[in-house]
Amino acid sequence: MTFVITQGCCNDGACVAVCPVQCIRPRPGDPDFTTAEQLYVDPATCIDCGACLDECPVDAVHGDYDVPDHLAHYLQINADYFADHPIEQEEAMPGRTRRRLPEDRPELRVAVVGSGPAACYAAAELSEIKGVAVTVLDRLPTPFGLVRAGVAPDHPETRLVAERFRAVLSRRAVTCFFNVEVGRDVTVAELAEHHHAVVWAAGADDDRRLGIPGEDLPGSVSAREFVAWYNGHPDAADATFDLAGERVVVVGNGNVALDVARALARPASAFATTDMADHALAALEGSGVREVVVAARRGPEHAAYTLPEVLALSDLEGVDLLAEPTEVMGTRLADPTRLAERKLDVVREAATRTPTEGHRAVSLRFLLTPVSIDGTDRVESVTFARNVVTTTDGVVTVQPTGETETIETSLVLRAVGYRGRAVEGLPFDLHTGTIPHASGRVLDGPGGHPLAGLYCAGWIKRGATGVIGTNRVDAIETVESLLADLAAGVLPEPSGTAEDLERLVRERRPEVVDTAGWQRINAAEKQAGAAQRRPRVKLVTVEELLAASHAPA
């Protein structure tokens, strides 16, 4: 028997660290680790020990004898990876030494801003070191960032990573202040006064813009907002979307585009047992949407979505995945690995299908760049320029052919990527939408000098790329820099104590939610969910969340 990694792999590499024969690839540090769509087990090397199964935070590992039918193709997908990337005998095992502070050192205090994946991985790495105390701050009353408010509700296995993060934030060495906004309630400088180091890991919560006429018409919305709405993010508690029209156009074809396409195309009943926000369940129940067009500017060989996500979309009950034969046939891969071919095959097959009576459709369209979003008072259509893609010396260029196509719709979801927002008190690179850094050390400007005691991790550091587990390696790099700076004696000494900080936070923000308060929220949501056979029923307004945080046990 061997093990196999399937859909939902979070790429955090925790399985790699425990595998005694190093049969999982790519490994942190391997050249393709940061770009890998998932991790794979080599069936020829696996010794069936099950260590990866126990370690996987998202239940993506199965024994080959009990892979669920709908995931059976992952047996071949795992094997295909190794057919293209055979393990070399001499590959060294990546080792990790246990980190320690010097025996005689007083407590090292680190503030981590944010509580999403990058922040939780940073807090995990730091708080497992004896003598390190971590303060985690988040502007929302609940932790976990995009794990709570970004991951699709029909991917519950991906949300399982929250259990790992919950254990981290509950450690004795970790103090949590939720519902506290750094920059409004306390400043970065004040955090620095009370800690040896501050790690900014609060994500990228703005949108990339298309920069075309009509982008701000009513009915043109960022997919980020739509995701926040169906996931019960307090910022989107009052949002409404016009779902009366028959067609929705999604611009971009990354995994966010596929997430929103699934949410719109699947029957609302498919989400009834998930933790999708009640307001979204009700709105999707009454939806008139029949077709979701997912429009990409390049061809299917350059699709931004990952193989697991497009495979899952091709196999949904009541949903036809369609593609235009003229946009797909004849497409060739520059690097035809088995997995890249497989990804292309999903679209090739979609191009052979015809719509089924009574089904909704997701139409994957290619070679279309939006040039305007049109309408008098609100969105009525999107006009696209048709492209040709050329690749010269590995450089892909998209050029308009001069032809245009107009697609009628009343709702446009712009899924063209997230962007970081400038942070008060920290340098910001407007061009990349990230904090300038060197291995996680905040610099005074792009290519500049490190600012002592200031660090960053996650999307605000590297941009909005990668999946949840990508943030583990990212956070480890930042923590390594911080510890190297500690060893080099360049971390500033804080002037205030942990008690001083707590006093300051509670004075500025009496509505602060601590670990016990968040656990009361968690219990209340789970209790409400149990009654409906759902993982939880989310409380979606700050007021509801605060009330639950104070409720007697």
Binding site for ligand NAP (CB under 6 A): 208, 210, 251-257, 259, 296-298, 302, 304, 306, 309, 369, 415-418, 464-467
CB nearer to ligand NAP: give 369 or 383.
Answer: 369
Instruction: Please say whether the beta carbons of 213 and 136 come within 8 A.
Output: no
CB nearer to ligand NAP: give 257 or 283.
Answer: 257
The nearest distance, CB 518 to ligand NAP, in angstroms, is 24
Half-sphere exposure for 464 (CA within 13 Å, toward CB): 22
Q: Which pairs with CB-CB distance under 8 Å and at least 24 residues apart come from 428-434?
A: 432/463, 433/204, 433/206, 433/208, 433/463, 434/204, 434/459, 434/460, 434/461, 434/462, 434/463
- Structure tokens belonging to residue 195: 């800690």
CB nearer to ligand NAP: give 296 or 328.
Answer: 296
Burial of 199 (0-12, 13-18, 19+ CB in 10 A): buried
CA-nearest of 462, 458, 532 to 150 is 458
What values do phi and psi take at 421, rounded to 5?
A: -110, 145
CB nearer to ligand NAP: give 340 or 416.
Answer: 416
CB nearer to ligand NAP: give 221 or 467.
Answer: 467
CB nearer to ligand NAP: give 309 or 320.
Answer: 309
Spell out the alpha helix ranges (H) of 67-200: 73-84, 117-127, 145-149, 156-159, 161-169, 188-194
The nearest distance, CB 308 to ligand NAP, in angstroms, is 7
Instruction: Please say whether the beta carbons of 477 and 437 come within 8 A.
Output: no
CA-nearest of 285, 210, 212, 202 to 243 is 285
Lookup result for tokens 């601590």: 514
CB nearer to ligand NAP: give 199 or 296.
Answer: 296
CB nearer to ligand NAP: give 362 or 443.
Answer: 362
The nearest distance, CB 200 to ligand NAP, in angstroms, is 19
Triad 41, 42, 45: Cα angle to 5°: 120
The nearest distance, CB 427 to ligand NAP, in angstroms, is 24
CB nearer to ligand NAP: give 252 or 450.
Answer: 252
